[in-house]
Amino acid sequence: MGDGSKVMAWINAHGDYKKNHIDEIIRVAVEDLRKAGCTTFSIFGQCWGALMAVKAASEADSLFLAAGGPHPSFINIDAVKDVRAPLVLLASKDEADMIPVIESVKGKNFPVESFHSRFDNMHHGWTGGRGDWTQPEQFKAGLEAVDQLGAYFAKVATHAESKL
């Protein structure tokens, strides 16, 4: 994987949701999608991006119907305490157990229950920059993750009113 300290240094310097204007970038993207006719929104990110998705779905004025992503990093019970949408978390063998995180949001009574899937045969990053899509097992697991995300977001969209 290389020098993990370099990745952490980058995230610490550029990965703050408010300080680095990630919240503003997400809002601009949503506005552009609205102008294109989109009426419902879910958000996902890979690795650290899953945390950014959760933060976006935790805003008081969040438009997101669901949030999460594959190989989520920095996701714990505290990170999701204010989330206003159900979660979809697809963990690899390298992530912490996400079941307590999913259980912690059950009392929020979202229209659709949060979803967790564990890919115990995959390493962190298998759907992103650390994935090798030429390897049949990773290719299959990557497609399965994409299918799970798509199916979950479609299910959430059919069970929820537009937040526009």
Asked if the structure places residue 120 within a domain, the reply is yes
Asked if the structure places residue 31 within a domain, the reply is no
pLDDT higher than 60, residue 1 = no
**pLDDT tens figures, 27-57:** 999 999 999 999 899 999 999 999 999 999 9
Q: Is-contact 53 44, C-beta < 8 A? A: yes
Asked if the structure places residue 105 within a domain, the reply is yes
Asked if the structure places residue 151 within a domain, the reply is yes
Asked if the structure places residue 5 within a domain, the reply is no
What's the CATH code of the domain at 113? 3.40.50.1820
Strand order in 87-92's β-sheet?
A: 41-44, 64-70, 87-92, 115-119
**pLDDT tens figures, 76-101:** 999 999 999 999 999 999 999 999 99
CA separation for the pair 78, 85 (Å, rounded):
15
| pTM listed for this prediction | 0.89
**pLDDT tens figures, 96-153:** 999 999 999 999 999 999 999 999 999 999 998 888 999 999 999 999 999 999 999 9
Residues spanned by the domain of 49: 40-158
Number of domains in the chain: 1
What pLDDT does 19 receive? 79
Please compute the mean of the pLDDT values over residues 19-30 and round it to a whole number.
88
The two beta strands, 41-44 and 115-119, are unpaired
Asked if the structure places residue 12 within a domain, the reply is no
